[in-house]
Amino acid sequence: MFLRLLTLAASAFDATSAFMERLLPFRDRLYRLALAQLRNTSDAEDAVQDTLIKAGKSAPVFRNESSEYTWVVRILINQCHDVQRSRERRQKREVSDSTAGSAADTVADFRKRPEEYVELSDISKHLMDAVDELSTTHRPLILMRYFEQMSYEEIAQSLEIRLGTVKSRMNQAKTTLRAALEKRGIREDVL
């Protein structure tokens, strides 16, 4: 009985190791996607690392209903949402601390604009700011489609929504993004 359990455990470990080896080539793509979503190198690195750890732990339950990449992207998007919620809570605490006269103002000001870590042209900066203003429903769609060149089908699988929903939300996201860029004085022909 013990030998059988040991064999099963070794087999599961080998499967997880093989799964993780297949995910490692995606690391750079996942990092770019996380950086586009979070706009902070440290947070992006942490999100990718946490994503790969979660994917490794969940490898035995992966059902091959989508590609491994789209499955891991879904985990990454959820992880990025967690990081953003945590960042917002931290900033709210810092603001409330600052009203009490603490030194949190300087920390809050330092962390308000994480895109300073990434050099961007003026147009790219306006584009990223406009993408940041998109809702949490629309932002991942734009990032997956235009930063990761994922097909609508891959996006639908990754987000676990219908293809028609992806197309509809993508249209809404593009309309909102176009309006935000026009408000900043950037026309479509400039892009």
CB 186 within 8 A of CB 123: yes
The string of pLDDT tens digits covering residues 32-46 is 999 988 888 999 999
pLDDT at 111: 42
- CATH class of the domain whose range is 119-191: mainly alpha
What are the sequence ranges of the domains in the chain?
1-63+75-115, 119-191
Q: Which pLDDT score is estimated for 97?
A: 64
Torsions phi, psi for 66 (to 5 deg): -140, 175
CA distance 54 to 103: 36
Residue given tokens 């999100």 in the structure block: 47
pLDDT at position 2 over 80: no
Q: Note the pTM of the prediction, 2 decimals.
A: 0.61
- Name the pLDDT band for 168 (thresholds 50, 70, 90): very high
Q: Is 54 helix (H, G, I), strand (E, B) or coil?
A: helix
Written as six digits, the tokens of 156 are: 């639908």
- What are the structure tokens assigned to 113, written together? 């604009």
pLDDT digits (tens, 9 = 90+) for 53-92: 898 888 777 777 778 888 899 899 999 989 988 888 887 7
Residues 6+ apart with CB under 8 A from 72: 23, 26, 30, 51, 52, 55
Each residue's pLDDT tens digit, 127-163: 888 888 889 889 999 988 988 888 999 999 988 899 9
pLDDT of residue 112: 41
> What is the Cα–Cα distance from 10 to 21, expressed in whole angstroms?
16
172 vs 21: CA distance, rounded Å: 37
Contact criterion met (CB below 8 Å) for 94 and 107? yes
